[in-house]
Amino acid sequence: MCGRYATTQTSASLNDAFGVELANSFVELEPDYNMAPTKEAPLVITRSTDDGEHREALTATWGLVPSWAKDRKIGNRMINARSETVAEKPAFKKAFARRRAIVPADGYYEWYAGGEPALKGSKQPKQPFFITPKDRSVLAMAGLYEFWKESDDADWLITFTILTTSATDDLGHLHDRMPLLVQPDDLDAWLDPAPHPTDELLGLLVPAAPGLLDAWPVSKAVNNVRNNGPELVQPIPLEDGASE
């Protein structure tokens, strides 16, 4: 899964990486080195208007709330969507058909339990790792977004989820899942709001090729969402991290 990541992206860096306009909902956020569910983060989408399609940056809340949901708290359980079932799951299939997005990040965190890949319910102390592109480019994670209203007179809430897949061999020892990434040549097709065959869309999404990502141990301070700062992504000696 992907349950925590870092993003220092600004309107300028998003424009450099993706060539975006700024949506009305865009808010210039402070760098966040401990992005967690329910927090607001930048998102890249393509919007269709009468004068054509526009690639936009907007601000959305992590944890997708389906349009039919009665309570926005359902989003707390919708932070990731498995690529294997995203086209069929009621919570995601409408967004997968027409509301695909890029979740821009500096990198993401995974927790390693030691010996074997981290397992749900493991009692072993888990060592956090930060995973980022070797070239330090923007990580373009595949996402979906949705609009939701609590009532007719309420404001629209924009929420998103991150698609995941099986981890590549060089990262699978940390966790068995990883975010799906969108390559630069596939951005237009993935963000196209028009419907496309499921196989065609899934074919655009790939795990990062082995050797293109760096991973290093970081401080367990990232475990607490109240901690935030560039020190969270700094490498530490593995033996020190294991003994904290």
Q: How far apart are CA 97 and CA 19, in angstroms?
A: 23
Catalytic residue list contains 2 = yes
pLDDT by 10s per residue, the chain, length 244: 678 999 999 999 999 999 999 998 899 999 999 999 999 999 999 998 888 889 999 999 999 999 999 999 999 999 999 999 999 999 999 999 999 999 999 999 988 866 444 445 545 668 899 999 999 999 999 999 999 998 888 899 999 999 998 776 555 455 567 889 998 999 999 999 998 999 999 888 877 666 788 889 999 999 999 999 999 999 998 754 443 3
Q: What is the CATH classification number for the domain harbouring 164?
A: 3.90.1680.10
**What is the rounded distance in angstroms from the CA atom of residue 161 to the CA atom of residue 148?**
14
Query: pTM for the complete prediction?
Result: 0.89
The boundaries of the domain holding residue 167 are 5-110+136-208
Is residue 219, in this structure, part of any structural domain at all? Answer: no
- Residue pair 161/64 in contact by the 8 Å Cβ criterion: yes
Specify if 154 maps to a domain. yes
Does residue 150 carry a catalytic annotation? Answer: no
Distance CA 115, CA 55 (A): 44
Domain assignment of residue 158, yes or no: yes
Cα distance between residue 166 and residue 206, in whole Å: 10
Q: Considering 110, 146, 231, 239, which one is annotated as catalytic?
A: 110
